[in-house]
Amino acid sequence: MNLTIFTADQEELPAKQGSESTFSVGAEPALKSSHYFLGSQMSFRNALGLIMLCTAGCVGPGSATAAKVEACADASTPQKAIAACSVLIESGEITGKSLGSARFNRASAYFMTGAQDLALADLNEAMQLLPSDARVYGLRGAVRGMKGDLDGAIADFTVSIDGDPSLVDSYTNRGKAFSDKGEFERSIPDFDRALKLQPNNAFALNGRCWSRAVLNIDLDAALADCNAGVEAGGDDLANTLNTRGFVHFRRAEYRESIESYDASLQQNPRAASSYYVRGLSKQALGEQGADADIAQALSLEPGIRERYARYGVNP
């Protein structure tokens, strides 16, 4: 199970069991993605063991405390993690870094269930006990992003990167946050760094593709990124297909644009931008259905014309 990070796209993917709800920052989604991931280093069970609880060095194996530690570190669902980590934290049986780790683990679970205020409270406590752990800052950046504090998120991702430059997801998430602020030029170097560390990271490929598409630059490279992202697949596939449709539109490849949006809409039938730009592509080809697509887009997002006008799309 992937740990879902904050989103800034109101075009919500159908909810998946155990996934985070989508989050809208202002009126304009920047990076076309419904999900943020710390997936390369945080599947859920790995996240709970990410900052390892001290089972061998702190408590004796087989003890009651060790069993509580194991339950907190190896829970199979967010709800079980919250329950198990709460028992451990409230027991008073662990202190120091182990307590910080338990709070981090519970914060991860709160984050996944959408309880961002509770996650933030645990992370603030964890930071007092784990002041130099870059991953704690990375998760707090995600929580801040979910709460709409993009500047705070960027600050935390920057601390995370400075503390551990190998954390791929801190780069991708900071790139997303820059993109959500409309600072697309600043987002691209972060996606570049993420892809140097993990060349097949679908989220970073989509992010760099989208930023280039919005800026209308390096469209050959953008298309290559989107194609690689589609090939990589993953939970963000619908958005990568959506992004690829926009790249094709920018390149005046209207047939290919329609095909990408068709594929995206099969997975996310409520994406206003897919209807809108597909409608514009149909208009460009003189095909039927253009007006219906644009009307559907406007019903889902009344301001979509203005949003795409900011990207330089003025039909």
Which three-class secondary structure state does DSSP give residue 36?
A: strand
Q: Please, what CATH class does the domain formed by 1-183 belong to?
A: mainly alpha
Question: Helices 150-163 and 168-180 meet at what angle, rounded to 10?
Answer: 160
pLDDT at 117: 96
Place of tokens 């980590």: 85
Q: What is the largest CA-CA distance in the chain?
A: 74
The CATH architecture that domain 199-315 belongs to is Alpha Horseshoe (1.25)
Where in the chain are all domains bearing CATH 1.25.40.10? 1-183, 199-315
- Structure confidence by residue, pLDDT tens digits, 116-159: 999 999 999 999 999 999 999 999 999 998 888 999 999 999 99
pLDDT at 41: 41
Give residue 241's identity as a one-letter amino acid code: L
276, two tokens: 């809108």
CB count in 10 Å sphere of residue 193: 19
CA dihedral 27, 31, 35, 41 (to 10 degrees): -140
pLDDT at 237: 95
- The stretches in the chain having pLDDT less than 70 are 1-62
55 vs 48: CA distance, rounded Å: 13
Q: Which residues contact 261 (CB under 8 A, 6 or more apart)?
A: 241, 242, 245, 274, 275, 277, 278, 281
132 vs 128: CA distance, rounded Å: 9
Which three-class secondary structure state does DSSP give residue 303?
A: coil
